[in-house]
């Protein structure tokens, strides 16, 4: 049974790279009828941020990445929060001391700082303390850490994405496994937990590649089976730099706030390092579960292209079932457009294919509440065969015609404008173009003169048409 885990540290917002890791772990588990586990890695107490756990839960829920075991739902391998597993790590660290694969280190900060200043890794000063010295120090409550003893030789391992990697052990330091506060480092806890939680596939960012030999030496020291490793390439921005908050959106929360839909984000993120066998670009989560293959992961850095995500978002908006879109867009209309008695459903229908973000919809209708300042030359349109002169004459006829209407439905308005065309031997564009410019003050609107007139109501429409006359006359 394949078991994967998402193991975030609760240090703030969910970075795009972390969400991609979670997604791939989820997909690897789900595409193999396996289990996806959530584990909170909070052993670095200095980096904890309030509410960060909630952000993790919320993110996975919004993204639709349901886990099978985790802190809030339990499971057979809990607790799933590392700070609640303190005793477990200590027990295993002591076992390593027993077998000579780890040792107590009582070096104080000054000593370590001076090594650090000289750019030296730990010099094994405490490696050969006698049992008596160790006991004496422990009894005197001298603060200590427990370090891994790295043996001579080479360590080779296979990563599913990066292939075979060999590292000379001389490049690895005797890293700390248990810190002076009694809590494990990430480097130790991840190995112990991945083993105890029976994790088969470890997915994480490629920044962990260089530490992996140390983890493997730990697995070997315990006689545990090494998991399958899947390290993921970096995600870079359009300038080839590491994604960061400073250079724009770097977290899931940022993107949601900017108006990206969760499904669009997930779809886009799925493609940052993985490519399907076909040219398909749009995937629902269940489709990804079917298609995802570890062998199609790439080791070249992925480029996070906001323009592409924006486009994808607009496509997702187009694909939304209308009722869902309408429910999402309605509050924006209600909040942004003051005029009441509008047919919001109609506005929604006209918006769905024209926006990148749902919140943009009201801006398509910004002319309703207030006629924008517009240039009189908008009336001139070669293809529509309109000029400043004929627009002036035609608008006069339109005002006359519409002014006589007693009922103001779209059918009535349309019939009147069509009558103006027919009765005066004009082209459609010569009537509808100037009418729309006069009513909206814009040359691009999501609907035509008829709909706009109906939205505005009779008196406002006539006012705007008359205002256009004064503009044209004053020209």
Residues assigned a catalytic role:
245
* Binding residues with ligand GLU: total (CB under 6 A): 7
Nearer of residues 21 and 263 to ligand GLU, judged by Cβ: 21
Nearest approach, Cβ of residue 271 and ligand GLU (Å): 21
Nearest approach, Cβ of residue 349 and ligand GLU (Å): 44
Nearest approach, Cβ of residue 28 and ligand GLU (Å): 13
Nearest approach, Cβ of residue 12 and ligand GLU (Å): 11
Choosing from 7, 16, 264, 355, the residue that interacts with ligand GLU (CB under 6 A) is: 7
Residues numbered 201 to 240 that lie near ligand GLU (CB under 6 A) are 204
Choosing from 9, 148, 263, 430, the residue that interacts with ligand GLU (CB under 6 A) is: 9
Nearer of residues 191 and 449 to ligand GLU, judged by Cβ: 191
Q: Among 84, 82, 3, which Cα is nearest to 42's?
A: 82
Q: Which two tokens stand for residue 194?
A: 């991945």
What share of residues in the chain are helix, strand, coil (percent, to 5)? 50, 10, 35
Instruction: Kindly list the distances between the CA atom of residue 150 and the CA atoms of 78, 172, 421, in Å, as whole numbers in the listed order.
Output: 30, 7, 90
Nearer of residues 147 and 231 to ligand GLU, judged by Cβ: 231
Which range binds ligand GLU by CB under 6 A, 2-10, 240-248, 340-348, 387-395?
A: 2-10
Nearest approach, Cβ of residue 25 and ligand GLU (Å): 8
Residues numbered 172 to 201 that lie near ligand GLU (CB under 6 A) are 186, 190
E-only strand ranges, 242-349: 302-303
In order, the DSSP letters of 383-407 are TTTB-HHHHHHHHHHHHHHHHT-S-
Nearer of residues 72 and 419 to ligand GLU, judged by Cβ: 72
CB atoms within 10 A of CB 214: 21
Nearest approach, Cβ of residue 168 and ligand GLU (Å): 23
Instruction: Kindly list the distances between the CA atom of residue 312 and the CA atoms of 7, 271, 298, 355, in Å, as whole numbers in the listed order.
Output: 29, 12, 22, 11
Nearer of residues 9 and 416 to ligand GLU, judged by Cβ: 9
Asked whether 206 and 231 are in contact (CB, 8 A), the reply is yes
Nearer of residues 167 and 417 to ligand GLU, judged by Cβ: 167
> Cα 229 from chain centroid?
24
Provide the residue count of the chain: 475
What DSSP element (H or E) covers 201? strand 201-205
Kindly give, in sequence order, each residue whose CB lies less than 8 Å from that of residue 150, ignoring residues fewer than 6 positions away: 169, 172, 173, 174, 175, 214, 217
Which range binds ligand GLU by CB under 6 A, 7-15, 248-256, 302-310, 382-390?
A: 7-15
Q: Which two tokens stand for residue 163?
A: 């292939």
Nearer of residues 11 and 121 to ligand GLU, judged by Cβ: 11
Which range binds ligand GLU by CB under 6 A, 5-13, 220-228, 234-242, 353-361?
A: 5-13
Nearest approach, Cβ of residue 8 and ligand GLU (Å): 5
Residues numbered 392 to 431 that lie near ligand GLU (CB under 6 A) are none
Please tell me the distance from the alpha carbon of residue 10 to that of residue 45, in angstroms, as a whole number: 10
Instruction: Reduce the DSSP state of residue 353 to 3 states and report it.
Output: coil
Nearer of residues 46 and 128 to ligand GLU, judged by Cβ: 46
Nearer of residues 30 and 204 to ligand GLU, judged by Cβ: 204
Please tell me the distance from the alpha carbon of residue 432 to that of residue 439, in angstroms, as a whole number: 10
User: How are strands ordered across the β-sheet holding 201-205?
Assistant: 35-38, 3-6, 201-205, 228-232, 154-159, 163-168
Per-residue binding letters, 21-50, with ligand GLU (x by CB under 6 A): --------------------x---------
CA 8, 233, 157 angle in degrees (round to 5)? 85
Instruction: Reduce the DSSP state of residue 204 to 3 states and report it.
Output: strand
Pairing assessment for the beta strands 176-178 and 145-148 based on DSSP bridges:
antiparallel
Nearest approach, Cβ of residue 279 and ligand GLU (Å): 31
Instruction: Reduce the DSSP state of residue 355 to 3 states and report it.
Output: coil
Choosing from 3, 8, 30, 312, the residue that interacts with ligand GLU (CB under 6 A) is: 8
Instruction: Reduce the DSSP state of residue 113 to 3 states and report it.
Output: helix
Which range binds ligand GLU by CB under 6 A, 3-11, 296-304, 323-331, 353-361?
A: 3-11
15 binds ligand GLU (CB under 6 A): no
Nearest approach, Cβ of residue 76 and ligand GLU (Å): 21
Which range binds ligand GLU by CB under 6 A, 6-14, 69-77, 131-139, 404-412?
A: 6-14
Instruction: Reduce the DSSP state of residue 82 to 3 states and report it.
Output: helix
Asked whether 398 and 389 are in contact (CB, 8 A), the reply is no
Q: Which residues bind ligand GLU (CB under 6 A)?
A: 7-9, 41, 186, 190, 204
């Amino acid at each position: 049974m394949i078991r994967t885990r998402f193991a975030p540290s609760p240090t703030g917002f969910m970075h795009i790279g972390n969400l991609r890791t979670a997604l791939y772990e989820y997909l690897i588990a789900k595409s193999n009828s396996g289990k996806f586990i959530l584990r909170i890695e909070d052993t670095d107490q200095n980096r904890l941020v309030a509410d960060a756990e909630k952000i993790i839960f919320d993110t996975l829920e919004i993204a639709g990445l349901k886990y099978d075991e985790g802190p809030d739902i339990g499971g057979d391998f809990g607790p799933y929060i590392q700070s609640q597993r303190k005793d477990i790590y200590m027990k295993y660290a002591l076992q390593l001391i027993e077998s000579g694969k780890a040792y107590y280190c009582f070096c104080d900060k000054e000593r370590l700082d001076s090594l650090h200043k000289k750019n030296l890794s730990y010099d094994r000063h405490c490696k050969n303390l006698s049992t008596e010295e160790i006991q004496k120090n422990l009894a005197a409550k001298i603060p200590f850490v427990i370090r891994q003893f790295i043996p001579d030789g080479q360590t080779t391992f296979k990563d599913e994405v990066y292939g075979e990697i060999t590292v000379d052990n001389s490049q690895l330091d005797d890293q700390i496994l248990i810190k002076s506060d009694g809590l494990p480092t990430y480097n130790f806890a991840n190995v112990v937990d991945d083993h105890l939680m029976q994790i088969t596939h470890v997915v994480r960012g490629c920044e962990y590649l260089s530490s992996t030999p140390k983890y493997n030496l730990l697995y070997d020291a315990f006689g545990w089976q090494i998991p399958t490793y899947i390290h993921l390439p970096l995600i870079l921005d359009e300038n080839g730099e590491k994604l960061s908050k400073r250079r724009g959106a770097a977290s899931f929360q940022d993107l949601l706030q900017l108006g990206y839909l969760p499904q669009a984000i997930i779809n886009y993120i799925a493609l940052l390092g993985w490519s399907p066998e076909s040219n398909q670009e749009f995937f629902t989560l269940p489709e990804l579960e079917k298609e995802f293959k570890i062998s199609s992961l790439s080791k070249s850095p992925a480029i996070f292209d906001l323009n592409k995500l924006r486009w994808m978002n607009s496509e997702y908006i187009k694909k939304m079932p209308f009722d869902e879109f309408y429910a999402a867009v309605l509050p924006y209309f209600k909040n942004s457009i003051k005029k009441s008695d509008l047919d919001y459903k109609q506005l929604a229908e006209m918006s769905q294919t024209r926006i990148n973000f749902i919140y943009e919809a009201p801006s398509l209708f910004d002319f309703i509440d207030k006629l924008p300042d517009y240039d009189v030359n908008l009336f001139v349109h070669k293809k529509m065969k309109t000029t400043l002169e004929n627009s002036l004459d035609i608008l006069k006829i339109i005002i006359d015609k519409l002014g006589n209407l007693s009922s103001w439905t779209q059918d009535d308005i349309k019939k009147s404008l069509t009558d103006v065309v027919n009765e005066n031997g004009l082209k459609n564009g010569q009537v509808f173009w100037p009418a729309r410019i006069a009513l909206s003050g814009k040359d691009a609107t999501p609907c035509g003169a008829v709909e706009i007139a109906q939205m505005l109501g009779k008196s406002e429409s006539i006012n705007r048409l008359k205002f256009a006359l004064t503009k044209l006359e004053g020209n």
